[in-house]
Structure 1
Amino acid sequence: MSVAMRALLCCALLPLSPLSAAERSPVVSTTESPVKAEQLGNGHWLIDFGKAAFGNISITPASNREKGRMTIHLGETLSGDRSINRKPAGTVRYQRHEVTLNPRGPVSPRLSWSPPNWMKEGFLDLPKECKEEVMPFRYAEIEGAPPGFSADQVKRVSWSVAFDEKASAFESSSPELNAVWDLCKHSIKATTFMGLYVDGDRERKPYEADVLINQLSHYCLDARYDTARLTHEYLLEKPTWPTEWRLQSVILAWHDFLWSGDDGSLRKNYATLKARAMITRRTPEGLFQGWNKGDITDIVDWPAGERDGYDMKPEVKTVVTAFHYRALVLLEKIALQLGKAADAKEFAAAAEATRQGVNARLWDEARGCYVDGLGSNHASAHANFFPLAMGLVPQDRVPKVAAFLKTKDMACSVYGAQFLLDALYDAGESEYALSLLSSRGQRSWLNMSEKVGSTITLEAWDPSLKPNLDWNHAWGAAPSNLIARKLMGIEPLEPGFRRFRVKPQTASLENARIKMPTPKGPIFLEIQGRDASAWQASLTVPAGTVAEFHVPHVGEVSVQGPAEATPVGDKNGRRILGLGEGRWKLSIKG
């Protein structure tokens, strides 16, 4: 037997090693009734709960005399219209169990879960509140139900962190955009069943890139910061393998402070955060030398087929360097917050050297875009939208990069879409960004719900692009933060929303309104009208905060509110106004 074969067999014989996180957000149960039930035949029922969630079903006998053994099928998808798919592809979930009605009370099937066959450790135990196994499912099919059985006897008990459904709301003149918001909002809630953000049901393990999208999306939906913070701190102790995702720990830390206003985690973890910038990997030009193999490896995007042909050969990659730059910029801010002026000065100098190095060494002036890495001639979408999203692109190059990106369509994964759309909105390309958000193409959120049929966002755009995808991956739910942060334009400028920006970019929408939670209370914003002549805005600023409102049109602004608006400046003829607490109405004078 070869050494390699012996090692493989030894690994296969090792016991599986689940991990228990030191601390998690408490999870709570919700009991739900079916939204639809159909009796297919004698004792045969199909139950639909409307949306998938992580939990189990509970069946209560109609009387203390009702008995009988039933077969229960639970699944995320149907085969045809009236039967749960018994052999779904990829890691789409299905389980079959036998249960016996018990006159003494409700019964539930004994569900099971196991990690993929290659995963021997790193997955999490269920949180302590869950006494029995759970699975994601929308449908229940029952065979062998006794005479007189009713769908009223069936409930689903699902688990998630506490989630205030009324804390956020969004509605617009686009039914497509509204459907995308609804899909993503439910996805963020449903996938918190572990008390930490995890990589779907297949692995049940946190990854930094998932957490980044989960974090911003959860913040925009409910003013709770504990789940993101605890998952981030868990990953500081147990980082994952992609280079950029380790660099993202600094971004996660900054978001936690900026949105919540609490710097306790920064103070506790400052030394670890400094190390995450991996300063020793800098080249003399300020670029970042990554890894093409080993325990730490550059990833760019995932799955690999969604990299737009990215040239992975250079060790100095534009995408990885962009994340390094962003980590340095944020470490300067963190150091200043913690009173470490000398550190802040060093981080600022390093960030500036990186900015200059990227723009001198990785820019192709003839094509008006960035190349994939040092020595590469290939220019992918990723080599351009990541630098734009990370603030690396000089203002005079932004139109060229945006024009290049508009030739690419959605040339990235659901993870990459977070940064692509951030970049497009930052470049002022709101109409194109809206077209991607509301698209029905293969790489779209409506493809997930309308064509594939999932009610939680997928791990990838379509099964054809990742055959082993799962149907419960919150890193696909970026629109729940992109709509709030970029389309409606609400983002904190000072910790805890003491000061926040409102920069609406509603493009061709006739109207849009949002309720967005903050630590100070909800922000309400309503926009009407596409053109300056019809444009109006209504904004409610919570007590203890100040809004910096960027009027999206040129012209004289009419302002009605509890006090005088404070002029902050203007940009290309568009006014920027300071608005204190209270309700404000703005319009453009004709």
Structure 2
Amino acid sequence: MSPRHLSSRARPRPEELRVDLQHLPVGIPVRGARFSWVVPQLGDSMQRLHRIQVARSPRGFGSPLWDTGWVTSERSVAVPYEGPDLDASTPYWWRVAVDTDAPGDWSSAQCFVTAADAWGGEAIWGPVAMDEWTAEDIPWVLLRTEFDLPAQPIRAAFVEAAGLSPEGGPTPQGPRGGRQHVYKLWANAQVVGYGSVRSGFEEAMYHTHDLTGVLRPGRNALAALCWAEQGRAFSARLVVVLADGTRLEVPTSTRWRAFSGAMMLPGLGDIGGGWFRAPREDWDMRHEPRGWQSPGFDDSGWDRARPSEAELPPPMPATVSIRHHLGETVRAHRVSGSAPAGSALAGAAPAGPPAAGSPTGSSARVGGGEIWRADLGREIVGGIRLEVVGRAGVRIRVRLGEELEADGTVRSRLRTSNFYEETWTLRDGPQTIEHWGLRAFRHVELEADAGSGLDLSRALRPVVLRSPAMGGGSFTSSDPDLDRVWEMCRYSIEATSQDLYVDTQSRERLPYEGDALVNQRSQYAVEPSFALARSSLAFLVRRPTWPAEYHLMPPLMAWEDYLATGDDRRLREDLHFLEQGGYQHLLDGGLVRKDPGSASEWDADLVDWPQSSRDGFEFTEVNTVVNAFQAAAFRALARIGEAIGDERVAQSYAESAAAATSALNDRMLGDGPSYVDGEGSEHRSQHATAIPVALGLAPAARLPALGGFLASGGMRMSVYGAQFLLDALFTAGRSREAIAQMTARTTESWLHQIDDLGASIVPEAWDSAQKPNMSYSHAWGTTPVNVIARWVLGVQVIEPGAARVRIAPHPGPLARIRGVVPTIRGPVDVDLDRDAGRLRVHVPPNTRAELVLDRAELGIHGHPRIEAPGEWALGASEDEIVLDGVTAGHVQVRWHE
């Protein structure tokens, strides 16, 4: 250690350490890992030197495995590991120290776990062989084992686990698979994780769950509750590294015990929707083996696990995890007394078969009885937990929904045809019942058997399933309505982050490229989280969806990922797929000529969704929207080629981008007031103009007129298409009109969704009149949250890894705006008070910024007083003021003094 660091413990240290972009790093390759950190606010906060050490234990830095020594470098993002190859499935620790113009100190050590090079445990299922399955045995299986640990401190403990198959596809008999996790895993009765996430690769995804603080000396238990309609394989390996370096392993094998869950979770019904088969959970607690997740449970009556008949593909580490978040108790209100005689809960035999189209096992609402209702306050993705003291045989009908019916009851049959209604049967005494799978809902209705005597007012707790929330983004303004829109969109991102950027968890549970592009931008706007965007992009380039324009969006996503992270590995690994998605083979005079297709056909032109939000768009063989995305994809591919040093890619796609852009503007814009929908059309939809402008393809000289056209039309696009309209309005200098769209109270507005529809996550359409089967859980409707970050606060990354950012606030009619936009190098803070004539900005450490101030929009006259760090250059014109080269720290601009 350098002598200058020996007495510097009070100095700020590097924070937000990441390995391969993960805050909780697992599945790290044994060679080529990349380290990132946030430079401390030390001296001028601009890094000049760094030093990285990797060790086998948190106390092993005295003789590290790898030590870079002091390296002269400004790089603090995606710094490659260049030490000896690491061992597979092994914990390591690393730390970093940096010097700015002042000497720094070591960061705290961060643990990371390397990737498995083979399956550590046998694939098992149970409790009977596949050819012995009965209908009642198929879905649910309980698996467990116990093991002893010595009385020695644990250095690290983790489980590598995989379950097949989380997705499933269509069959002649209908959809298969739940498109969700296969297992829920406990260690010593504590939930430690879910898996597996879906894979776009040929390999099977496995998870690494941290158990370091969960295990203890003596007896311990691992337990899993699994469901899979096909695949039916669970593989796991527990790894424990003791303080003295001893390594212990507990793999899955036929020594594990297995128990059928057919009695505990009877029936073969699913939660409906038509796109997948995910199980209803009609829990019968009389048949739950009490304490089965805990050590000391007597499983002598269980069978031995059987080897799975499914063949596991090679393992691939998942970088996205789904966590269990248990909410606070929600007070339920009693709304009725006893169930009427003859109702299902009063003991009468169930009614006849369900109506056509009803999910298996559905029944009519019994209407009365001991009914309790609760509003969770906002929609969640997950389930509920009930903690009750019961009597054997008493039933509670659980109904969940996104909306209430006119009479105040919960609409448990969603507009998407999902059916969230289940029966939970109690046993004697205290018990806890909790959903295993995913549902999207806000309202809860609990109906107990007449005369049960249950008090359910304090029994309910929400169970949220999502990837770890990182937070970091914030926004307030002088317009409370805009703040409410921002918060709904922010929460939409938080609530819908599971294993992929999906359309919705209630219906498709599938990713789409167009949805993912909006989702990615919005997630970057509210939290410095990158794994979900990367996983979704890797999935989609290997499993593309049907719309024509969507095939052209992965290069845009890949470039935004590189700008945000500075890590070029996805560009290199996916370049082949990114090139494949285009329509180079259909170019005719620089533009794509193709059959527009019909809805849901492969390569069909989409333009917008739902169809009612297309503003009368006329489909032609040479489509303006498709060609705008093709030109943008060419441009992104050219940038990607330049970034990875591939001259062929850079040059050929730069030429294609230039030709496509020129042809688009010549043939679709010409001398007109706006773009036409396509070749041979005279119709000028909002989409045909907004999308080329939003993608930066329109000639700069034409932007004022194009902005006027767009500003005069109101919102004629969908919740998804709004991304391009708002981007286009800001690009054309129409910030007032763009902000007015975000705070409008028309049917086509986010405030209508909040105030009139009661939405807390953005719905699929502006209103059910436009799409009667819409749902209320669509993160791709969150355009305002990323538009506010990128345009209103004005923070945009312009060099990879956020090495350089542009800050150009556009408050429009707002007197005050204040917000935080996260980046991988730390948050950018913007605080503007136009009435006071003051702008304050905080540039994060090790970052350079370009500050662009629009004189007219901010009301700046003359020469403002500027205080800013760095050796910046000032450029001033009648229209704007530009400060270029601002470095980390506080910037203040005043112009009313």
State TM-score, norm by structure 2. Answer: 0.59
By how many angstroms is 1:70 displaced?
1.8
User: Residues 190-209 of structure 1 correspond to what in structure 2 (within 5 A)?
Assistant: 190-193=495-498, 195-200=499-504, 201-209=506-514
> Do the aligned residues in 2 keep the contact of 1:76 with 1:93 (CA within 8 Å)?
no
By how many angstroms is 1:427 displaced?
0.9
387, 396, 402: which one pairs with 1:76?
402
Match of 1:459 in 2: 764
> Do the aligned residues in 2 keep the contact of 1:489 with 1:504 (CA within 8 Å)?
yes
1:248 aligns with 2:553: yes
Match of 2:429 in 1: 103
Q: Matched residues in 1 for 2:779 and 2:510: separation?
A: 13
1:29 aligns with 2:333: no
- When residues 102 and 425 of structure 1 are mapped into structure 2, their CA distance, relative to the original with a 3 A threshold, is farther
By how many angstroms is 1:298 displaced?
1.2
552, 557, 565: which one pairs with 1:260?
565
Q: Matched residues in 2 for 1:216 and 1:456: separation?
A: 17
> Do the aligned residues in 2 keep the contact of 1:69 with 1:101 (CA within 8 Å)?
no
> Do the aligned residues in 2 keep the contact of 1:497 with 1:519 (CA within 8 Å)?
yes
By how many angstroms is 1:469 displaced?
1.0
Match of 2:297 in 1: none
> Do the aligned residues in 2 keep the contact of 1:74 with 1:139 (CA within 8 Å)?
yes
Q: Matched residues in 1 for 2:454 and 2:177: separation?
A: 46
Q: Matched residues in 1 for 2:172 and 2:664: separation?
A: 45
Q: What is the CA deviation profile of residues 495-528 of structure 1, one whole-angstrom value per residue up to 9, with x for unaligned ones? A: 1110001111011112111111111111111111
Amino acid at match of 2:410: I
Match of 2:755 in 1: 450
> Do the aligned residues in 1 keep the contact of 2:448 with 2:454 (CA within 8 Å)?
no
> Do the aligned residues in 1 keep the contact of 2:549 with 2:629 (CA within 8 Å)?
yes
Q: What is the CA deviation profile of residues 136-166 of structure 1, one whole-angstrom value per residue up to 9, with x for unaligned ones? A: 111111222743624322111110110124x
Match of 2:605 in 1: 298
User: Residues 213-224 of structure 1 correspond to what in structure 2 (within 5 A)?
Assistant: 213-224=518-529
808, 812, 818: which one pairs with 1:503?
808
Corresponding residue SS for 2:637: helix
By how many angstroms is 1:66 displaced?
8.9
> Do the aligned residues in 2 keep the contact of 1:317 with 1:372 (CA within 8 Å)?
yes
> Do the aligned residues in 2 keep the contact of 1:93 with 1:135 (CA within 8 Å)?
no
Corresponding residue SS for 2:429: coil
> Do the aligned residues in 2 keep the contact of 1:34 with 1:50 (CA within 8 Å)?
no
Q: What is the CA deviation profile of residues 404-462 of structure 1, one whole-angstrom value per residue up to 9, with x for unaligned ones? A: 11221111111110011001011110000000001111111111111111211111111
By how many angstroms is 1:81 displaced?
6.7
Corresponding residue SS for 2:560: helix
By how many angstroms is 1:296 displaced?
1.2
Amino acid at match of 1:551: L
Match of 1:546 in 2: 848
Larger Rg: 2
Larger strand proportion, structure 1 or 2? Answer: 2
User: Residues 86-485 of structure 1 correspond to what in structure 2 (within 5 A)?
Assistant: 86-91=412-417, 94-100=420-426, 103-108=429-434, 132-144=436-448, 146-147=452-453, 149-165=455-471, 167-193=472-498, 195-200=499-504, 201-284=506-589, 286-293=590-597, 294-312=601-619, 314-365=620-671, 367-485=672-790
By how many angstroms is 1:273 displaced?
1.2
Match of 1:5 in 2: none
Corresponding residue SS for 1:414: coil
Identity across the alignment (%): 33
Q: Matched residues in 1 for 2:751 and 2:418: separation?
A: 18
Corresponding residue SS for 2:684: coil
Q: Matched residues in 1 for 2:428 and 2:691: separation?
A: 57
> Do the aligned residues in 2 keep the contact of 1:558 with 1:589 (CA within 8 Å)?
no
> Do the aligned residues in 2 keep the contact of 1:371 with 1:383 (CA within 8 Å)?
yes
Q: Matched residues in 2 for 1:101 and 1:536: separation?
A: 65
Amino acid at match of 2:513: E
Q: What is the CA deviation profile of residues 109-157 of structure 1, one whole-angstrom value per residue up to 9, with x for unaligned ones? A: 6xxxxxxxxxxxxxxxxxxxxxx22211111112227436243221111
Q: What is the CA deviation profile of residues 192-226 of structure 1, one whole-angstrom value per residue up to 9, with x for unaligned ones? A: 23x11111020001100110011010111110101
Structure 1 portions without partners, runs of 5+: 1-9, 110-131
Corresponding residue SS for 2:458: helix
- When residues 410 and 47 of structure 1 are mapped into structure 2, their CA distance, relative to the original with a 3 A threshold, is same
By how many angstroms is 1:35 displaced?
4.9
544, 551, 556: which one pairs with 2:863?
556
Structure 2 portions without partners, runs of 5+: 1-169, 180-197, 206-317, 338-369
Match of 1:112 in 2: none
By how many angstroms is 1:11 displaced?
6.4
Q: Name which of structure 1's ranges 297-306 and 64-73 shifts more when overlaid on structure 2.
A: 64-73
Q: Matched residues in 1 for 2:594 and 2:433: separation?
A: 53
Corresponding residue SS for 2:831: strand
Amino acid at match of 1:142: L
Larger helix proportion, structure 1 or 2? Answer: 1
Corresponding residue SS for 1:266: helix
> Do the aligned residues in 1 keep the contact of 2:621 with 2:678 (CA within 8 Å)?
yes
Q: Matched residues in 2 for 1:556 and 1:57: separation?
A: 59
Q: Matched residues in 1 for 2:711 and 2:475: separation?
A: 27
Match of 2:892 in 1: 585
> Do the aligned residues in 1 keep the contact of 2:332 with 2:456 (CA within 8 Å)?
no
- When residues 76 and 99 of structure 1 are mapped into structure 2, their CA distance, relative to the original with a 3 A threshold, is farther
- When residues 571 and 102 of structure 1 are mapped into structure 2, their CA distance, relative to the original with a 3 A threshold, is farther
Q: Name which of structure 1's ranges 36-45 and 378-387 shifts more when overlaid on structure 2.
A: 36-45
Amino acid at match of 1:581: A
Match of 1:525 in 2: 830
Q: Matched residues in 2 for 1:15 and 1:52: separation?
A: 26
> Do the aligned residues in 2 keep the contact of 1:257 with 1:263 (CA within 8 Å)?
yes
1:566 aligns with 2:566: no
367, 375, 382: which one pairs with 1:55?
382
Q: Matched residues in 2 for 1:172 and 1:99: separation?
A: 50
Q: Matched residues in 1 for 2:629 and 2:375: separation?
A: 43
By how many angstroms is 1:322 displaced?
0.5
Corresponding residue SS for 2:745: coil
Q: Matched residues in 2 for 1:34 and 1:429: separation?
A: 46
Q: Matched residues in 1 for 2:327 and 2:784: separation?
A: 26
Q: Matched residues in 1 for 2:624 and 2:419: separation?
A: 38
By how many angstroms is 1:542 displaced?
0.8
Q: Matched residues in 2 for 1:283 and 1:538: separation?
A: 51
- When residues 102 and 177 of structure 1 are mapped into structure 2, their CA distance, relative to the original with a 3 A threshold, is farther
> Do the aligned residues in 1 keep the contact of 2:415 with 2:775 (CA within 8 Å)?
no
Q: Matched residues in 1 for 2:701 and 2:330: separation?
A: 54
By how many angstroms is 1:277 displaced?
2.7
- When residues 487 and 81 of structure 1 are mapped into structure 2, their CA distance, relative to the original with a 3 A threshold, is farther
> Do the aligned residues in 2 keep the contact of 1:70 with 1:99 (CA within 8 Å)?
yes
Q: Matched residues in 2 for 1:148 and 1:457: separation?
A: 36
Q: Matched residues in 1 for 2:660 and 2:552: separation?
A: 15
- When residues 92 and 381 of structure 1 are mapped into structure 2, their CA distance, relative to the original with a 3 A threshold, is farther
> Do the aligned residues in 2 keep the contact of 1:363 with 1:370 (CA within 8 Å)?
yes
Match of 1:13 in 2: 173
Q: Name which of structure 1's ranges 339-348 and 435-444 shifts more when overlaid on structure 2.
A: 339-348
By how many angstroms is 1:540 displaced?
0.8
By how many angstroms is 1:37 displaced?
3.0
- When residues 302 and 178 of structure 1 are mapped into structure 2, their CA distance, relative to the original with a 3 A threshold, is same
Q: Name which of structure 1's ranges 453-462 and 22-31 shifts more when overlaid on structure 2.
A: 22-31
Match of 2:229 in 1: none
1:41 aligns with 2:336: yes
Corresponding residue SS for 1:202: coil
